[in-house]
Each structure stands twice: as C-alpha cells, then as structure tokens.
Structure 1
C-alpha cells in the first residue's frame, strides 16, 4: 500500500505511476460501486460503469487534467454522468445502430505490411489484456464469434440494447487502451476497427 493523501497519489499518477492509481482504486472502488448500484439499471451495468469511470479518469489525469483533490467526489460524479448517458433510451438506440456500423467489413488489414503484423499483434494483445474481463468477453463474442447483440444479451442476461451499449463501451475501451499502448512505441499506425484488431490478434 502506498502512503500519502489523494493529492499526492494524483501527482504520482501524472508522473506516470500505475501503482499510485491502483492505490486510488483500492481506496475508492467500494464507494464507486455503491454509487453505480444506485444509478445503474442492472448490476452488470453497475460493474461496467465503475470500470469505465476509472478508465476515463486515468486517461484524463495522465493528460494533466482531472481533479487535484476530492478524488472521490470527482469519481462519483463521473459514475453518475455515465449512468445518465447509459440510461437514456435514445442513447441506447443510437449505440445499437453505431455498433452495427462498427461491424462493417473494412480492407485495412489486407494491405498491412507483413513485417508489421507481428508487432501489431503484440500491441493489440497488450491493449486487450488491459480491458475489464467483461469487456474482453463481449468483444470476443461480437468480433470473433460474430454473435448478434441479441445473442450477447442472452448470454449476459441483459437486453439487446444493453448488450449494444456494453459492446460500444468495450470497443471504445479497446481503442483507448490501444492508443495508450502505442504512446510508448516509436512508430504509430492508424487505428483499425476493433474487430480487425481482434481478428488479427486471434
């Protein structure tokens, strides 16, 4: 366990410390889950809200933004705002349509330099491993097994729209994780569609 108040830990996160953010997570995850259960429609949505809230805050803090103090208040506000977006029916329908658009086949990987394939697989594997377990599962079902959102919903015990929203968040999370992994690489590539990334890494 790292010593110091939240301000000290946030400063360490901005300096690149992953363990400092892990300590913030340990201190505040219970409060985040309590809030998420109050505002989410389902327990599974609550888990996703917490994971996405911490991921968003980590990204913001690493870029120099976010809170300097009152981390818990910032976290709970983030969870609540994410829930408001998720619980909007119009938003869910939009996500379902957007999910189908993401699944459209592209030809980007067919023109990939063979010399780049193995390094790319390594980057994708690292990005995929950073995702919450539930996000990894839903991406695998949708992108590799080509399950429909209705099938995914049945597997997870949620509605089709909830499954579409979950897949959308997982895709977005993969893109963000991939970008973070690439940030430390000397050569960056244009990010392909999430399905292409997973298919290549599989």
Structure 2
C-alpha cells in the first residue's frame, strides 16, 4: 500500500496519543520509510477532546489528514469519532467504540447524546464501512479507561484484512513504548480486542 491515513479521536485519559505512537512505530517496523503525525488538544485535562493523526507512505508530508482522505477513523469515544467524519474518505472505515464520555463542552451546554443507532443508520447511507465495537465491557478491561485504545486496536487488526500493519508489528510496538508495569495489561487488552466482533457493520 503506497499511502495510509489514520485519524484517532477521543477524550483525555483514553490514550489517544499512545495508540497513535504505537501505530506510527509499528508502521516503521512494517517498512514504511516516511511516517508523520500530529495531534490537536481541546481542553488540556482529562475529558477534553483529543485528535491525533498518523500518516505513512509515499507522498505524505504534512502532519494533518486532509478532509476526505482518512482511510480509517478510530473513535475511542462515540461522539469524538463522529466529530471528524468530514475527514473520512468515501471508501474509508469509520470504527467507533460505544463508549460515551461527556466532554466539558457537552456538560456546560447541557447537550445530550444522539441515538447511536439512528446516527449510524444515516452514516451507512453515506459510507460503506461503518462499525461499532464494545470496547469497555471486556474481561481484560479492569475498569481502566486507558485500555480501551488497545482493545479497539486489536479489533481493527483482526477485523480489517486491508489494514496495512500486522499483529506482530503492533505487539512489538506496544512492548517498546509501554511502561514496564503496563506491558502485560496492554498486550492482554490488544488480544482481547482481536476476539471482538462488531455490534454494527
């Protein structure tokens, strides 16, 4: 694959930057010579919006995925994934967790979540690849918001045959970038994610 563009969205505390670092390092292991990325932070605290970009392959220069060019959007939080839908390519995959974490903006403005099934059914008329995963209530979750990133990543690696980074490169990246006391838990979360099946496809 000549070029691949990833956007990861979530809220502070979900490990948005970590999953992006794992993907970038794994892409280098997979043989991609050019890997660039960047991130955008909302409120600089737990619960604020965070988006990160990982771009690799030929012809990739700037850090931000252009509008309509993302091959995959990974929404660690449901609404945050939807927030960036304008960057998804027509043939791209929208992968959402059903986790809902109200942002400070939603709480301040007393905004309610929309009905997820209604939203997804409308999106499926616009995009061919829309998926919803349960990334919270898994045996390895341990009640940790920060493990949902690895759970969802495992689901993606297993479910998408065209995903350009393989299981081995991801696992080695996790081992390299994770603090020693969290390596086993992150690997367990990744493996648990590989067993997940989408709630909606």
Task: Provide the TM-score with structure 1 as the length reference.
Answer: 0.27
Task: Provide the TM-score with structure 2 as the length reference.
Answer: 0.27
Structure (1 or 2) with the greater strand fraction: 2
Point out the structure with max Rg over C-alpha.
Answer: 1
